[in-house]
Amino acid sequence: MVPNKFDLKSYLKERAQKIEKTLERYFPSEKNYAKRVISAGKYSVFAGGKRIRPILCLAGCEVVGGEWEKILLFAAGIECIHTYSLIHDDLPCMDDDDFRRGKPSCHKAFDEATAILAGDGLQALAFYFFTHPELVKNIKKTRLLKAIHFISKVIGFEGMVGGQMVDLLMEGKKGSLKVIKWIHLNKTTKLIEASVVSGALLGGGTFKELKALSFYGKNLGYAFQIIDDLLDILGDEKELGKKTFSDIKKQKLTYPKLIGIEKTKELAKKYTEKAILALTSFKEKGIPLKSIAEFLLNRVY
């Protein structure tokens, strides 16, 4: 059910709060010798963040008629994966970023070893959530296993990990539009697409619905990373919670570098429009996903 006047702000707030409550409730307790690494994981998970990926997962469930409250643990697991990837990406030997979500990066607040382990622990925790009895009891097991399989593929060698590798390898190098699109696809787009599609899979979506949402997610994911590249140049450090011009300093391969700011803006708009077009068949029920796409296009953080 989508209310006549859709209020995106309270929609996002409600979902983010529920996701955070789920994370709090199921996060391992800091009451043992390993307190330090659990604290580091918590530090990064609860440092704020838009919670866009888990929100997309819940929205994917709802748009196909599923009950989103029933898959909160799955959505929370996706946020653990996203946070682990940020912690590892920020490491000195990777992107070497000292700030994240307005606070010192995990390896700055703790140390490198703790940050690597916190990331590792968060990846494991994601799959612990994905297979938690409290989730399993709500979902058809065949669909759940398919969703986990999909996520594990898009975050691995043939997805996020591969994308981050090539992102690093292309620093300071000349790259083509083909390469940058490949990096964006793997580093960012695939997990965003998988977030919404896995939600729909768990919510009982049909093949046709999953296909439409895959198209939505892919285009949204491209738009998202392109806007990320733009914000590195046009954004405000305070709003972003991280340093601007960091891509330029690191000589990262970005769209603004290849085609200029104006053309990059047009491209983000084009991808967003394509994403929204994919929602046509959902009619009114597609309003939240449409609003999210518009919000991400115009975001300042």
**Binding residues vs its own copies (CB under 8 A):** 28, 32-34, 36-38, 41, 84, 88, 91, 93-94, 111-114, 116-117, 119-121, 123-125, 127-128, 130-133, 136, 141-142, 144-146, 148-149, 152-153, 155-159, 161-166, 168-169, 179, 182-183, 186
List Cβ neighbours of 190 (8 Å cut-off, separation of 6 or more): 154, 155, 159, 160, 163, 221
Nearer to its own copies among residue 51 and residue 187 (C-beta): 187
Shortest approach of its own copies to residue 89 CB, angstroms? Answer: 10
Shortest approach of its own copies to residue 184 CB, angstroms? Answer: 12
Nearer to its own copies among residue 65 and residue 156 (C-beta): 156
List Cβ neighbours of 118 (8 Å cut-off, separation of 6 or more): 37, 40, 41, 43, 44, 84, 87, 106, 110
Shortest approach of its own copies to residue 120 CB, angstroms? Answer: 5
Nearer to its own copies among residue 191 and residue 267 (C-beta): 191
Nearer to its own copies among residue 103 and residue 181 (C-beta): 181
Nearer to its own copies among residue 15 and residue 218 (C-beta): 218
